[in-house]
Structure 1
């Protein structure tokens, strides 16, 4: 499982120019079965993604295709976590 943080950069003003393409990229992440959840960081300084069902290299490649990353709107950070204990509803993550 991976936690992806997309921190807005000094180029955040360009976000509106790339928002439609960014949303399409998010939809593609769900369609490919990579994303479990996406959302806005509480401090409004970027976004977060929970991803799984891929390797670190595959996820990095996909994240680098995000229009926000391509156009320098956001800087990604990917952190891998191996779930050791989960709520029963998330047991599928322990097998991934």
Structure 2
């Protein structure tokens, strides 16, 4: 599993201008079966995506996020080897 933590490097007003294409990118990640949860950080300094898949695929996909392309946010990709979950979250185990 991967934790994709994005942090805005430009003002949130700039992020707002690119939010529609960014959200289309997020929806595509769900459609591909890679994204399993996502949301904004509180306070709003970026966001987090929980993802599954191959590291190279996820990394390449992050590079295509409009927030990355337009320099709105930077990503930190952390791979986690999940070993224990509550019932129903077995998809998180690698």
- TM-score scaled to structure 2, two decimals? 0.93
Asked if structure 2 preserves the Cα contact closer than 8 Å seen for 1:12 and 1:74, the reply is no
Asked if structure 2 preserves the Cα contact closer than 8 Å seen for 1:11 and 1:72, the reply is no
Tell me what 1:87 maps to.
86
Query: Equivalences for 1:1-96 in 2 at 5 Å?
Result: 1-10=1-10, 12-52=12-52, 54-94=53-93, 96=94
| Secondary structure, aligned partner of 2:43 | coil
Shift of 1:12: 4.1
Shift of 1:14: 1.7
Tell me the distance in 2 between the aligned counterparts of 1:10 and 1:73. Answer: 5
Structure 1: where are the runs of 5+ without partners? none
**Two-structure CA RMSD over aligned residues (Å):** 1.2
Higher helix share: 1
Asked if structure 2 preserves the Cα contact closer than 8 Å seen for 1:5 and 1:77, the reply is yes
Tell me the distance in 2 between the aligned counterparts of 1:29 and 1:11. Answer: 25
